[in-house]
Copies of this chain bind each other. A is one copy, B any other.
Amino acid sequence: MSTIRDVAKLAKVSVATVSRVINESGYVNVKTKQKVEEVIEELDYRPNDVARSLFKGKSKMIALFVPDIMNPFFPELARAVEDITNKHGYTFILCNTDNDNKKEMAYMNALLQKSIDGMILVSNTMTASQIKDTKVPIISLDRKTRSDLISVTVNNREGARQAVGYMKELGCKRIAHIAGPDSASSARSRMEGYLNEVQEEKWFSNSFIRAGNYSIDEAYKVTKTLLKDNPNIDGIFVANDLMAVGVLKAAASLKIKVPDELSVISFDGIKLGETTSPALTTMAQPIYHIGKRAAEILLEKIEKPGTVIQSEEHQVQLIIRESTREKRLKE
């Protein structure tokens, strides 16, 4: 690999001049510039980014923290962030945290030592004190952490309320909820929205709520006991699509017909929900869009440190597919 000094020598100029040519900064005579560019071509010279980073204290790298890229919600987010940051010349680092605060902190420290320029977190566990002395821009995505990070989220509470409201419109009389992990703000908000809609109903009972952890298997288990304990349930609002797959399986194993005997509505709008049978009715998030926005905001913070930036809350949208019963005009 040739260096800037090799180029300078061959072009019979100083390294400063070569640097000016590369960066199109300062004054360089047209003929000199041409000569330097010829030599760069000849030597196939590429500036060493590490040396640049060292001097500038910036690396042109950003990181995305997700619990687990194997959870189908995250690839779309990751893709969005990678698309945007790549377009701006940044390198994209992916970190799987398993919701483990130790892992998160280990990644964070390692990345700071590499002069990372910014991070986007999908995290529950990060606390304010853990990031308060970090001067690197950080954005929270999908969830709100216990800190004052700028966040890009969706309107979980209202979305949940609408989902449950829709089931009520359909004529469901006993609507249960498979909740997400209490540690996730998104899960708590969705539960709130559910409670908003059902708490005042005479039929409502706390035993209609079961805790899941956003995974298929756990949802399968808790739904089975839920439905055994409460055979009269005719609707379930599931905190995410992935768990809804478990719910569908549980219903099938109990020979409960969806949607005829049981309506299922969930949240997220991942592709997977189109392929189940019945296909999932769901409150869809603009997943790619929020990932994109988080990346855009992060880059804004990195490149124009002054500008004031606000958190964003995006809208969700009901997608009616097959897991909810048809609306009956008359009962």
A91 near B109: Cβ-Cβ < 8 Å: no
1/0 contact trace for A55-86 toward B, CB 8 Å? 00001010000001110101110110011001
> Which of A119-127, A193-201, A269-277 lines the interface with chain B?
A269-277
Q: Which residues of B contact A105 (CB under 8 A)?
A: none
Q: Which residue of B lies closest to A51 (CB)?
A: B54
> Which of A93-101, A166-174, A183-191 lines the interface with chain B?
A93-101
Q: Which residues of B contact A54 (CB under 8 A)?
A: 48, 50-51, 54
**Which residue among A50, A51, A276 has the maximum number of chain B CB atoms within 10 Å of its CB?**
A50
Q: Is A245 an interface residue (CB 8 A)?
A: yes
A69 near B79: Cβ-Cβ < 8 Å: yes
B59 near A70: Cβ-Cβ < 8 Å: no
> Which of A110-118, A150-158, A231-239, A313-321 lines the interface with chain B?
A110-118
B110 near A91: Cβ-Cβ < 8 Å: yes
In the complex, which of the residues B69, B93, B113 contacts A47, with contact meaning CB atoms closer than 8 Å? B113
Assembled-state Cα–Cα distance A90/B82 (Å): 19
Q: Which residues of B contact A229 (CB under 8 A)?
A: none
> A48-B113, A70-B79 provided; 18 other pairs, C-beta below 8 A?
A46-B109, A49-B110, A49-B113, A50-B115, A51-B54, A54-B54, A69-B69, A69-B78, A69-B82, A82-B95, A82-B96, A83-B96, A86-B95, A86-B96, A91-B93, A92-B94, A92-B95, A272-B275
Question: What are 10 sample pairs from A and B whose C-beta atoms fall under 8 A apart?
Answer: A50-B50, A50-B53, A51-B54, A69-B79, A69-B82, A70-B75, A74-B75, A91-B93, A91-B111, A92-B95
